[in-house]
Structure 1
Amino acid sequence: MSLLEHTERTERTLWRGGRVLSPTHPAATALLTAGDRIAWVGGDDDLPAADRTVDLEGALVTPAFVDSHVHLTGTGASLTGLHLAGLPSAAAVLERVAAFAAALPPDAIVLAHGWDETEWADPVPPSSPDLGNAAGGRLAYLSRACGHIGVAGPRLLAEHPEFAALDGHHPSGLLTRAAHRAARATVNAAIPVSQRLATAQVGLTHAAGLGIAALAEMAIPNDADPLAEAEFSGLVALGREPGNPAVYGWWGELGAAEKARDLGAHGAGGDLSADGSLGARTAFLRTPYADEDTLGAEYLTAADVAAHLRAAHRAGMPAAFHAIGDGAVANVLDGLDAVERELGLDAVRHARHRIEHAELLDAGLIARMVHHGVHASVQPAFDAAWGGPGGMYAARLGRERALAANPLSRLAGVGVPLAFGSDSPVTALDPWGGVRAAVRHWNPASRLSPTAAFTAATRGGWRALGIDDSGSLVPNTRANFTVWDLTGGRLPDLSDPDAADPKCVLTVAEGTLVYQRA
């Protein structure tokens, strides 16, 4: 394949000799882009004139992926720094920390993510003193895989005694709820914005190489991090730079829709948490956890949700809420009910509000999502990681509720629009892995077809952003597409667990080449 070093947004480029996955042209072998739009789709026997031509050499062309829920700076850090996923014990975590810290200057910060005690034979997190020893006395914070709990080193706790008064503080140094959020933001505040954006750029570049043309950045602001606003605006600006996938920012501050708009956000909320996570037992449930007598954490009431929705409507923005447990989802829907009574159903549906995660749902909650036109921004990789017999879901919820988690086919079957994301670095940027997880859901009754899953990972992401002219390879739509090392005009067989995922050859975002394989 003759690849391009760049593409000019104003030129006409003919991509020929491939297999184009187009709903309106099932036998298509070529497409023409004119600037940032697809101008023509058809066969090699009747090619239009162009300024330049690329021979696809039989490769498959599909709509590009959209990751609908991501944290770019954390993603970049997981690729370049200390990442703790997959380690078998607390001792292994501490060994990894010690090896990493040994190469750091004394004033460096040890910040890492990804440990998961549910994968260990002895499910006890590292202690604060042990972390302090491993980090060589440096400031240190290790967040759990879910991002809703962490372990603070002794120096961090000593320098910030105010953490002890916050909800979720434990003398062991294990922090959840407000204490966790404050500690994480405090450590982040010591990292310059320029360093954060350089780290995020690593994540963006990696995303482009996976066939991702757009990402929804989920900011989690906190008063303890005064640089969060500058970081967020910088992340959105990175998405406008030629050569990068697009970045659609969501600012997760309650009621701050006008600020979100001023910062360049696409939406108000996103990871605005109505609850926490199942792993941390802070997802808000209507029935107690199976392994602890608690309902979790109710971070937002229905009144809070309604107030945020009103602010979003005044600012002309969509709203989104992190809601994992059925109790949290019910609160979000109760808030939508209140705003519907004030503004009318058409206004609510037109806004395309979102629920992020939406892991525990029953038929009544799903019906209410349909009623309000709510988009479900979901992470199929969560089920692959934590579902199944012996998985974290079963431990926290019991078998029956675990099997009902992430009911993808039930949502799709009644018309809830789905958009797939990774929540990276909670799970890795891996769009094909997400599609495969939806097709191979632990519960066969919750599985999607390959076509439905791929659509949720591509067109569904655009629809959840309120963008209807992208995600399908048809004329007069945005030129967001990926070329894969597959011949033939079909998606790969995703039912085979041992089959390799397709490899990205090139990615085009808004008509600009953002990745080409060396």
Structure 2
Amino acid sequence: MVQPKTTLLTGGHIYTPGDPDATAMAITGETVVWIGQDGPARALYPDAEHRDLDGAFVAPAFVDAHVHATATGLLTEGVDLRAAGSAQDCLTLLRAAAAGVSEGGVLWAHGWDESGWPGQRIPSRTELDEAVGQTAVYASRIDAHSALVSGALLAAAPDVRESDGWSAGGPVTKAAHHAARAHAIGALSGQQRERAQRAFLAEAAAQGIAAVHECSGPEIAGRSDLAALLELGTRPELPDVTGYWGQRSVELPEGVHGLGGDLFVDGALGSRTAALRAPYTDAPGSRGTRYLDAEQIAEHLVDCTRARIQAGFHVIGDAALEEILAGFALARERIEGIAMRRHRLEHLEMAGAEQIAALAELGVVGSVQPLFDRAWGGDSGMYTQRLGADRASAMNPFAALAAAGVILAFGSDSPVTPMRPWEAVRAAVHHRTPGSGISPRAAFAAHTRGGWRAAGVDDGITGTLVPGAPATYAVWEVEELVSAPGDERVQRWSTDPRARVPALPSLAEDSAPPRCLATVLRGATIHS
């Protein structure tokens, strides 16, 4: 029997809870077998394959707990509108790209955000058609809950005009948006889809991400898209993919982990489709849209709990969260063991103290996106525009969720915000609302171990670097390592090694993010 080889890393900084001064790590096969100092390491493993870290920082690899792989990867060939600073910028980018679209193809674009544009003016369909001619265009808003669609796309997808959320001149929302997106996804060739998915997974690995949670569903990308991605996720040279299917059913598609992800209870604040208890500040006649009621939520929870399947829901608005909690209450009257399944809530942006306490009791996982606060928080951000200052300041209450014992798993919702895990950790620490941020160690844990726990891997070691843990880690070039106490008072930083706290890269606002040198998944290098 061939024994697995042992690799010895020395001369670095190993992030491990057992030894803040560790400089060396030994890996045999897929498993970490030893962590300590360089001298003992060389004595214990004289025949190991030796790799000098040259001062690099080694830490558990990241998990991105909410992504949309194909939509993200398509931007490598489509149009990234996140940099557009006005309606005219948006049209200029689409006009230039439309010239290169083959006959019968669809131009995929994403990322426009009128909340920062002059007058918040959105291009009309007439302007869009003047810019792109007979090219079919699907251009989703930054939150991916509404889209600009061209006349050529509508001609090929007439059901869009007949659906709720149709607009004769502006963006489509609700069911009309879902229909337009389904057509755009359906028009992709198999080669286009594979290129997009491979580009996405390669970028994830390059960011130190070893595993992603794909949140798909009938309105997102379809079963064939998810099946293709799950197949790619089994390749040893690519990150792991955990699949979630957002549909009320007990039929679990092959290879899928849970029935949740983007199972919509409501929409998004930017598109004014998140379900609110009080009207939108900038649209007093609207309280958004709720897609599921308490009875439907309860039925899904009962069915999934009985089948031992993890359920989940997309929820942003406070009225939607109230409906979810009412659904949980109904479900608990009908079946035991609800909390044991660790059902998930995606985004979970508007939660008050009583709701947070209830969520902790229910054992739910909060799959949250810290870069939402960085993008839309603050005195003049989109949250304040839509909700007013008081409600906006209560968004994304990470500290309260963590203090109550809610399991947090960080993600990007890519392409809504980019896969930049260190920036997400920084955003969670330096929250725009004082008191809502969490400590660097807690934020880092939510983006590493938290992602594994969210998908049911809770053996106490996966997502950490300790002997016996899977050898899933990333190697980083960093400017500075600092130690910080493990509480919410993030201003109390210390570079004193006597603190005996494992050091992390500096998360100061003016510090450069670490650069990923390598990403390793269960002993196999997926990025170098």
TM-score, with length taken from structure 1: 0.93
Q: d(CA) in 2 for partners of 1:11 and 1:336? A: 49
Give 2:191's aligned residue. Answer: 194
1:63 is the counterpart of 2:60: yes
The 5-angstrom pairing of residues 451-462 of structure 1 reads: 451-462=441-452
What letter matches 2:370 in structure 1?
Answer: P
The 2-side partners of 1:509 and 1:86 are apart by 33
Equivalent residue for 1:320, pick from 282, 303, 312? 312
Match of 1:280 in 2: 271
d(CA) in 1 for partners of 2:406 and 2:371?
19
1:185 corresponds to which residue? 182
Counterpart Cα distance in 2 of 1:424 and 1:313: 29
Going from structure 1 to structure 2, the CA distance change for 1:317 and 1:9 (only over 3 Å counts) comes to farther
What pairs with 1:279-298 in structure 2 (closer than 5 Å)?
279-292=270-283, 293-298=285-290
Give the match for residue 31 of structure 1.
25
Mapped to 2, the partners of 1:497 and 1:350 lie a distance apart of 39
Runs of 5+ in structure 2 lacking a partner? 482-501
Out of 352, 358, 361, the position equivalent to 2:351 is 361
Equivalent position of 1:478 in the other structure: 470
CA-CA distance at 1:9 after TM superposition? 11
Structure 2 counterpart SS, 1:377: strand
C-alpha distance in structure 2 between counterparts of 1:10 and 1:127, whole Å? 62
1:107 alignment counterpart: 104
Partner of 1:240: 234
2:491 is aligned with 1:508:
no
| Corresponding position of 1:311 | 303
* C-alpha spacing 1:399/1:9, structure 2 compared with 1 (3 Å): farther
C-alpha distance in structure 2 between counterparts of 1:507 and 1:449, whole Å: 25
- Are 2:375 and 1:413 aligned? no
What is the CA distance between 1:126 and its match in structure 2? 1.4
Distance 1:508 1:435 in 2: 20
CA contact (8 A) 1:193 1:230 kept: no
Unmatched tracts of structure 1, length 5 or more: 1-7
| Aligned Cα root-mean-square deviation (Å) | 1.7
Q: Secondary structure at the match of 1:22?
A: coil
Amino acid aligned to 2:423: G
Q: Is the 8 Å Cα contact of residues 32 and 467 (structure 2) preserved in structure 1?
A: yes
User: Does structure 2 retain, via aligned residues, the 8 Å contact 1:9–1:34?
Assistant: no
Tell me the equivalent position of 1:352: 342
- Return the match for 1:258 from 246, 251, 260: 251
In 2, Cα distance between the equivalents of 1:463 and 1:52?
Answer: 32
Native 8 Å contact 1:383 1:437 kept in 2: yes
Q: Report the CA distance between 1:425 and its aligned residue.
A: 0.2
Q: Do 1:193 and 1:231's aligned partners in 2 also have CA atoms closer than 8 Å?
A: no
1:301 to 290, 293, 302: 293
Determine the structure 2 residue equivalent to 1:403. Answer: 393
**Pairs within 5 Å for 1:34-45:** 34-45=28-39
1:408 Cα offset (Å): 0.6
Q: What is the aligned residue count?
A: 500
CA distance in 1, matches of 2:103, 2:183: 18
Q: Deviations over 1:187-228 (max 9, x none)?
A: 1101123321221110110111111011001113249x7xx2
Q: Partner of 1:206: helix, strand, or coil?
A: helix
Which residue matches 2:204? 207
Structure 2 residue aligned with 1:129, among 108, 126, 132? 126
Partners of 1:19 and 1:64 in 2: CA distance:
15
- Alignment deviations for residues 467-517 of structure 1 (CA, whole Å, 9 cap, x no partner): 1231111111111111111365621221x222100101111112211111x
Pick the aligned partner of 1:176 from 173, 178, 181: 173
Q: Which amino acid aligns with 2:477?
A: D
Q: Which residue of 2 aligns with 1:490?
A: 503
Deviation of the 1:104 alpha carbon: 2.6
Structure-1 separation of matches of 2:135 and 2:375? 32
Kept in 2, the 8 Å contact 1:110–1:135? The answer is no
Query: Which residues of 2 match residues 6-155 of structure 1 at below 5 A?
Result: 10-47=4-41, 48-49=44-45, 51-155=48-152
Between the aligned partners of 1:170 and 1:446, the Cα distance in structure 2 is: 38
Structure 1 letter corresponding to 2:19: H
Give the CA deviation at 1:158.
Answer: 2.9
Return the offset for 1:230: 1.8
Paired with 1:111 and 1:437, the residues of 2 have a C-alpha distance of 29
Asked whether the 8 Å contact 1:16–1:29 carries over to 2, the reply is yes
2-structure distance, mates of 1:9, 1:115: 54
Letter in 1 for 2:106: I
Mark the CA change 1:400 to 1:127 in structure 2 (over 3 Å): closer, same or farther: same
- SS class of match (2:38): coil
TM-aligned CA deviation for residue 269 of structure 1? 1.3
- Does the CA contact (< 8 Å) of 1:157 and 1:173 recur in 2? no
Measured in 2, the distance between the counterparts of 1:374 and 1:358 equals 11
Q: 1:222 to 1:407 in 2, by over 3 A?
A: closer
Q: Which of 383, 396, 400 is the equivalent residue of 1:393?
A: 383
Q: Is the Cα–Cα contact under 8 Å of residues 38 and 477 in structure 1 kept in the other structure?
A: yes
Deviation at 1:314, TM superposition (A): 3.5
> Residue 172 of structure 2 aligns to a residue in which SS?
strand
Q: Normalising by structure 2, what TM-score?
A: 0.92
In structure 2, the residue matched to 1:375 is 365
Instruction: Give the corresponding residue for 1:249.
Output: 243
Question: CA 1:191–1:331 in 2, change beyond 3 Å: closer, same or farther?
Answer: same
Q: Is contact 1:386-1:392 (8 Å) kept?
A: yes
Deviations 1:222-269 (A, max 9, x none): 49x7xx2122111112111011111101011122x3233xx2111111
Given candidates 406, 420, 426, the residue that maps to 2:416 is 426
**Corresponding letter in the other structure for 1:281:** R
Contact 2:123 2:170 in 1 (8 A): no
**Matched residue SS, 1:165:** coil
State the Cα distance separating 1:30 from its structure 2 match.
1.3
For 1:511 and 1:311, the matched residues in 2 are separated by 38
